[in-house]
Amino acid sequence: MTTTDFDLFALPEEHVALREAIRDLSEKQIAPHAAEVDEDSRYPDEALAALSAAGFAALHVPDEFGGQGADGVAVCIAIEEVARVCAASSMIPIANKLGTTGLILRGSDDLKNQVLPSVASGDAIAAYALSEREAGSDAAAMRTRARADGDGWVLDGAKCWITNGGKASWYTVMAVTDPDKGANGISSFMVRADDEGFVVGPKERKMGLHGSPTAEIYFEKCRIPGDRIIGEPGTGFKTALTTLDHTRPTIGAQAVGIAQGALDATIAYVKDRKQFGKAIAQFQGVEFMIADMAMKIEAARLLVYSAAARAERGESALAFQASASKCFASDVAMEVTTNAVQLFGGAGYTRDFPVERMMRDAKITQIYEGTNQIQRVVMARALLR
């Protein structure tokens, strides 16, 4: 065995340096606002400004369109480090990647040039619109229609649970173009916030992730130019699912970051908190909980990086690993944050400490970008095919 074989399990130097840079930025410029952003349910403007200035708001955008061209593992590291201090702020790189991956993989260069430079610079942010009220897990049951009209398209319908709804400038929207063809009659489009007939509904009142706006969006005879379609008509559902193969690891990364933030806070607390004449960290019951939390986070992290690396290498069968990484990491995040609150005791149940926010934020990672039940469906299909 050569050194190179062992290097497979070590991050390259540039990834280590990236982590240090984003950790430093996150601790100095994002963490101080995290509690207030959550408390006031306000957009993390400081995080957007800091991430944009450093080129980290959409670091996945290829160089030729003004971005950093960061690989999938680098993007996961960035998301993880931001989520470690503020999950809501980590939605900035997450939603930008989700809202542009279909375009990057399948769109025309002309359309990429219309969208990507402004997202890379932080002047615009992106969103992804797949779900509808009656088409969540069963995404192909969507009703939103797009009809060819002259040299453009006219969209009618409603999408829900849209991260950055009302905040984004560009929306990747899946709509039915041929109702007789089921999943193969769905197409993908780029819709702009100022397109005629594009309307934003009220913000959802959520359990967590308060700093990340979620809203319904409506298309009321929304007219867009013909060149805004991504790829060929009828390919939109496959583009949507391929996108999720690339982005589900980013939710895994967010979950790992939230869990790491909770573990770090808990380690500091149990070493400081004294009961029965000694720090509670010295009780074996507490030690075992801390060890299990760290062990599971490390396993989740490796699964996430390995899924992201597979996508980066252009491997074709990504679904199992992408779903496994998102599912495992989010289940770990829920368990770790719940145990963090437990180890803080009564203090953990108050807003004086960050772990209750982390527990509320962790919950959504088990639900969005496909519930963990759907992830298990995807994994089982890949295994049993």
Does 242 help bind ligand COS (rule: CB under 6 A)?
yes
Q: Which of residues 349-368 bind ligand COS (CB under 6 A)?
A: 368
Task: Give 3-state DSSP helix, strand, coil % of the chain, rounded to 5.
Answer: 60, 15, 25
Per-residue contact string for residues 104-143; x = within reach of ligand COS by CB under 6 A: ------------------------x-xx-----x-xx---
Residue 265 vs residues 98, 231, 313: alpha-carbon distances, Å:
30, 46, 35
* Piece of 54-62, 236-244, 285-293, 333-341 that binds ligand COS (CB under 6 A): 236-244
Closer residue to ligand COS, CB minimum distance, 259 or 311: 311
Residue 51 vs residues 119, 157, 241, 248, 364: alpha-carbon distances, Å:
12, 34, 28, 21, 23
Residue 169 near residue 192 (C-beta atoms within 8 A)? yes
* Min dist. Cβ of residue 135 to ligand COS (A): 9
Our answer to whether residue 312 is catalytic in this structure is no
Amino acid in position 198: F
- Non-local CB neighbours of 206 within 8 Å, separated by 6+ positions: 214, 364
Residues paired with residue 157 on neighbouring β-strands, in sequence order: 219
* Min dist. Cβ of residue 316 to ligand COS (A): 9
The dihedral built from the CA positions of residue 17, 364, 174 and 221, taken in this order, carries a sign that is negative
Of the candidate residues 11, 241, 267, 309, the single one contacting ligand COS (CB under 6 A): 241
284, 312, 237: which is closest to 76 by C-alpha? 312
Q: Say which residue the tokens 């769905």 belong to.
A: 186
How far is it, in rounded angstroms, from Cα 89 to Cα 70? 19
Of the candidate residues 48, 54, 183, 294, the single one contacting ligand COS (CB under 6 A): 183
The residue sitting closest to ligand COS, measured at its beta carbon, is: 370
Does 320 help bind ligand COS (rule: CB under 6 A)?
no
Residues paired with residue 152 on neighbouring β-strands, in sequence order: 149, 225
Closer residue to ligand COS, CB minimum distance, 35 or 140: 140
Does 273 help bind ligand COS (rule: CB under 6 A)?
no
* Min dist. Cβ of residue 92 to ligand COS (A): 15
Does 379 help bind ligand COS (rule: CB under 6 A)?
no
Query: Which residues are tagged catalytic?
Result: 369
Footprint on this chain of ligand COS (rule: CB under 6 A): 128, 130-131, 137, 139-140, 183-184, 237-238, 241-242, 244-245, 319, 368-370, 374, 377-378
